[in-house]
Each structure stands twice: as structure tokens, then as C-alpha cells.
Amino acid sequence: MNSSNTSFLAVHSLHALAYCERLFYLENVENLRVADERVFAGRRLHVEIERNEDEGEWLTLQLESQKWGIAGKVDCVRRRDGRLIPYEHKRGRAARGMDGEAAPWWSDKLQLFAYAALIEEHSGQAITEGRIRYHADNTTVRVEIDDDAWRLLAEAIARARELQASVIRPPVAANEKLCAKCSLAPVCLPEEARLGVRESGGAVEQRSGIRGDRETLQSTTRSPRSAIRLFPADEDRQALHVMTQGARIGRKGDRIEVTPPAGSDDIPMLYPVHEIGQVVLHGFAQITTQALGFCSQNEIAVHWLTNGGKYLGAWSAGAGSVQRRIRQYKAMTDAAFCLSLAKRLAEARVRGQLSHLLRASRDAGRGRVEAVVGAIAAIRRLLGPMSRARSIHSLRGYEGSVGAQYFKALPHVITEEAGEAMKPDGRNRRPPRDRANALLSFGYALLQRDVLNAILVVGLDPSLGFYHQPRSQAHPLALDLMELFRVPLVDLPVVASINRRQWDEDEDFQIAGKQVWLSESGKKKLIAIYERRKSDQWKHPVIGYSLSYSRLIELEVRLLEKEWMGEGGLFARFRLR
């Protein structure tokens, strides 16, 4: 088998292919990898084995094959009775045959076939046997290597090359048990894909990994149920906000160092890199090239905001795979598809605004405020025509009318005790003309940062959206997805903080003529409120599991991508309770 492809196929990728074709595609075509505890445990096993002198004769080799077009690091080669025998070590348990005897898993066999092919080509000796050591049950399984093994290896390599040349991501595995043990489940979202198909009333064709018996495609249709929790409930890493003007962000060992400007009495602060998910620079803070490179290595995005709270942009090392963006571009050029997504998005935001007003108008002791009741009625009347909009332009018109009613009612959901100075005068921005709008504008800038960060993490192109038009700086897709979170992540906590009288009208704001900005103390206070809100848990009404708002942002980006991959139905389905 002569390979015309100049790029070698990694042997470990064949293991992924045999396990699940979707896993192979995500790792080796879209270049997505997540190292979980199982991956690290496997790495530790190989290190421990290499250090164990009682294991006998060892020879670890890094080999390439022009004939097969594969490359890999052979765990071990031993010589027995003049024959070379490749060994593969696995930390888990062996499979069990019909007679209960230990047997190799197919994915492990395929990987062993590949290593045998490498050794045979480089040694010139026929390899007729290999062995797989399963450490969890202390078992070694012998594997015969014959003509059938070479045939199966050739078929697997051909299938891998076919997938590498495709822009279509394979469907989720038919065997759901595989997904529960997969490190890429939080990226793949297999359970959400299955649930989305069921919710939309369709069926999905699924394939497990390529099998020795050439397992056929299956059509899966089951009764609706909640998805098994495979997506992490919360984000372990936090955002580092640097607000001191003239501060410098650098690298010190495996930590990020924030050094105050010259002449300051403050001392440098150190932050472990594993605790940081984003670095946010406000105003005139500086970051070194070494720190940028360090952030890149650790998948930490860097964001910039002006002193006035305007979001400027981000720097991120990951640009997303070509295949992923090709699929996005194709979907975003379909006008009917974009309109259907925009309607779902607009409805989600409008129902969030409606829920906010309904909740506020029912608060004990305040009764139902007439202005709020009138706005609620007007918004409800607009929902029907909005759902029947025939163009993005008309949909924006209806949503604009809803927004006008919403912001007209917003001052009436603020208590009299909060004071007239803290009530908004409609919605005004660029620049804000009252304290409430200053809070909303800065909150929306923080939200824009988080949404854009999630888009970059997922690997989509933020400049191509389906609802908003391209602008000079703001990314349309980020503006689209922000619509889902404006009310729960900004409007609700801002109004609640005003009603709790958390703001000092003088200390927390700066007023210049008709312009109102947050002072440094005001920014710090709102950042704390916003970050706490992101950590609040929320139960998805369709998927059925709870997660933080911080994780929900990334989940919605991933659910959006599924809309143009035949696994849609769950995007923009969450509602405020």
C-alpha cells in the first residue's frame, strides 16, 4: 500500500478511529483535544513502565512508514525465540469473549496492527504476533497478525484519509457508553445531539468507529429524555481583570504577574496560570509579548476595554479549523436558514424581557405598576407578528418596538427608595446619559467579552453572523449571541443591585456634562456583581441538567454550530424562570 499523502497518519489516531469516527475527526481534522484525567493516567502509566527495570527487555522506537503512510512511537519491542514481538500497554481492563476469556478491544488491536507494520518494514522481519497488556486486571492478551490484520489496517487507513479530506463531521456514535468515557464529550456534545434530533422529530444515522466486522450504520429514534450530563457544570478558571492604569502584565515561571506602575506603593501580584481563563485589560494596562505567548500556550484569551467601558477586541491563539469555518460560511449564506435562527434568537430575548417585567410587576408590596402592565400587553401583542416576519429587516423592526416598550417600563421596576438619580431614561448609549445606562453599557461590554471568548474557544468565525450586520469593530456573531444573555446576565443583576441600593451616586460614577461613566470603584463593583451572576446555576428546560451561566454561554455557541450540522433543535431554547 503506497501512500501518496506526504503527511503521516499518527498511529494513535487509528485507535481513535476504531473507537469513534467522530472522535477521530475532531482530534485529527479539526485539531481539538481535551486532556482529561484518563489521558493523564495513560501518560503516567507509560512513564512508570519505562522506569520499571523488572519489565524485562525494552526497546521504544519512533518509526515512520512510507509504505503505509503512518508514524508512531512503539511502546515496546521484545525478542522471543528469535522473533520480534510488539507490545502495547493499556491502563484499563481487557474485553471478554463469549467464553469469558480475556480478549483485546478492537481499537487496541488496530493500533497494535499499525505498530507491527512499522516494525516489520524497518526490521525486515515478518511480524506474526503482538501482545496487549491490560494493567487494570493484570492480563496479557496475544494477538495474531496475519493477512486479515493487514487488510483491516489498510481499510482503516483508507477510511482515515477519506475523513481527512471531508468537511463533514461524522455523526455521534451509536454506542452511548463510548461517549461517557470520551475526553472530547464536552466539545462533541453527543447527548445534546441525540436529544436535539429527537426534539426536532428526526432520526440520526450514527456510526461507531470503523470495526473489524464493518459495523453498519444504525438509525436511532428513541423516546424523548434529558441528556446525560457530559458537559461540565461550571468553569474552573476565572477572568483576571487588570484595572490599574499603567500596570504591566508579564510572566514569572508558571504564573502571570501583574506589576503596578512605577511610584506605586502596591506590590506585584502573582496568579497561577491554571486558575486563569481570561485576562481583561481595562484602559492603559500593558501586557508583554512573553505573557501573550504564555497565554497562548495555556489557551487564555486576552481582551481589551477602554477606560469608558467600550469593548475593543480580543487576542486568541486558536483560529478554529478550516472545516469548521467552511460549514459556518455555507450556513450563513442561506437566507432562509439565517431568518429561522434569527426568529428563534429574537423570541428568546423578547421572552426574557417579558419575564423580567412580569417578575418585577409582581414583587410583593409594590403591586402591578400600570406602566409595566401596559408594556407587558404591548410586548405580547408584538410576539405574533414577530414570529411571522418574512425578512431580517422586518424582524429587527418588531424587536426594536419591543425594546422601546421594555426600556420605557424599566424605570418603573426600580423602587422609590433607590432614588430618581438611579432610574434610566429609556435606553441611551455612546455615551450613556444616566447612571442606570452607564451600568447597563458596561455590563454589556463585559458580556460581549465573554460571548466573543466562547466563540473563539469553540472555533467559529465571530465576523460572520446571521442577524446583526457587520460593523467597524463589533463582531456580528457576538452581537447575535449576546441577545440571549442581556436580560439574565446584565439587566436582572443591574436592576436588582439598584433596588438593593448598592450604588453610591457620587463615588461610583463620573459625570461630565451629559455624559455619565462608571468610576474605578463603580467598575470594580459591577465586575464583582457580573462575575457572581455568571456562577449562578440554571437548569436548562429541554436538556434537563443544571449548569452555570458561564458554561451556558459556551454551550449555546456549541448548540448553534449543531444547527447547521443536522443535529440542531436545542439552540436558543432556554427561558428565564
pLDDT class of 216 with cuts at 50, 70, 90: very low
User: For residue 407, is pLDDT > 50?
Assistant: yes
pLDDT tens per residue, range 497-513: 999 999 999 999 998 88
pLDDT tens per residue, range 478-492: 999 999 999 999 999
C-alpha cell at 354: 417579558
pLDDT class of 384 with cuts at 50, 70, 90: very high
* 532-536 own/partner pairs: CB under 8 Å, 24+ apart: 532/493, 533/488, 533/489, 533/492, 533/493, 534/450, 534/489, 535/234
Average pLDDT of every residue of the chain: 84
Mean pLDDT is lowest, of 236-240, 404-408, 529-533, for 236-240
Give mean pLDDT, residues 39-56.
Answer: 45
Under a CB-based contact definition with an 8 Å cutoff, are residues 73 and 62 in contact?
yes
Q: What is the DSSP letter of 225?
A: -
CA 139 to chain centre: 38
* Strands across the sheet containing 248-252: 269-272, 255-259, 248-252, 286-287
Q: Is the pTM of this model over 0.75?
A: yes
Residue 154's pLDDT is what?
96
Burial class (CB in 10 A: 0-12, 13-18, 19+), 460: buried
pLDDT class of 353 with cuts at 50, 70, 90: very high
Residue 298's pLDDT is what?
84
Residue 161's pLDDT is what?
95
User: For residue 158, is pLDDT > 90?
Assistant: yes
Burial class (CB in 10 A: 0-12, 13-18, 19+), 35: exposed
Under a CB-based contact definition with an 8 Å cutoff, are residues 536 and 548 in contact?
yes
Give mean pLDDT, residues 430-443.
Answer: 92
Residue 219's pLDDT is what?
32
Query: In the chain, count of helices (H) and strands (E)?
Result: 19, 23
User: For residue 214, is pLDDT > 60?
Assistant: no
pLDDT tens per residue, range 453-464: 899 888 899 989
Give mean pLDDT, residues 516-538.
Answer: 92
Residue 46's pLDDT is what?
47
pLDDT class of 59 with cuts at 50, 70, 90: low
Q: What percent of the chain has pLDDT over 90?
A: 47
Q: Cell 414577530 sits at which residue?
A: 386
Residue 147's pLDDT is what?
94
pLDDT class of 60 with cuts at 50, 70, 90: low
Q: Of residues 443 and 362, which shows the higher confidence score? A: 443
User: For residue 133, is pLDDT > 60?
Assistant: yes
pLDDT tens per residue, range 266-311: 889 999 988 888 899 998 889 999 999 888 888 888 998 888 788 8
Give mean pLDDT, residues 126-150.
Answer: 92
Contacts of 375 by beta carbon, 8 Å cutoff, 6+ apart:
357, 405, 406, 408, 409
Structural domains of the chain, ranges and CATH numbers in brackets: 9-164 (3.90.320.10), 176-220 (no CATH), 238-305 (3.100.10.20), 322-534 (1.20.120.920)
User: Which of 167, 148, 81, 153 has the alpha carbon at shortest distance from 117?
Assistant: 153
Whole-angstrom distance, CA of residue 461 vs CA of residue 323: 12
Residue 56's pLDDT is what?
44
Residue 209's pLDDT is what?
58
Whole-angstrom distance, CA of residue 142 vs CA of residue 88: 11
Whole-angstrom distance, CA of residue 496 vs CA of residue 221: 44
Whole-angstrom distance, CA of residue 433 vs CA of residue 407: 14
- E strand or H helix at 141, and its extent? strand 139-144
User: For residue 257, is pLDDT > 70?
Assistant: yes
Residue 43's pLDDT is what?
41
Whole-angstrom distance, CA of residue 516 vs CA of residue 436: 9
Angle between helices 11-19 and 21-28 (to 10 degrees): 140
Q: Of residues 359 and 526, which shows the higher confidence score? A: 526
Residue 201's pLDDT is what?
56
Whole-angstrom distance, CA of residue 219 vs CA of residue 200: 15
Q: What is the CA radius of gyration of the chain?
A: 28
Residue 234's pLDDT is what?
66
User: For residue 576, is pLDDT > 80?
Assistant: no
Contacts of 464 by beta carbon, 8 Å cutoff, 6+ apart:
328, 329, 332, 476, 477
Q: Measured between alpha carbons, how far is residue 311 from residues 450, 451, 461, 550 in Å?
A: 11, 12, 18, 19
C-alpha cell at 34: 481535551
Residue 1's pLDDT is what?
54
Under a CB-based contact definition with an 8 Å cutoff, are residues 71 and 5 in contact?
no
Q: What percent of the chain has pLDDT over 70?
A: 85
C-alpha cell at 280: 481583561
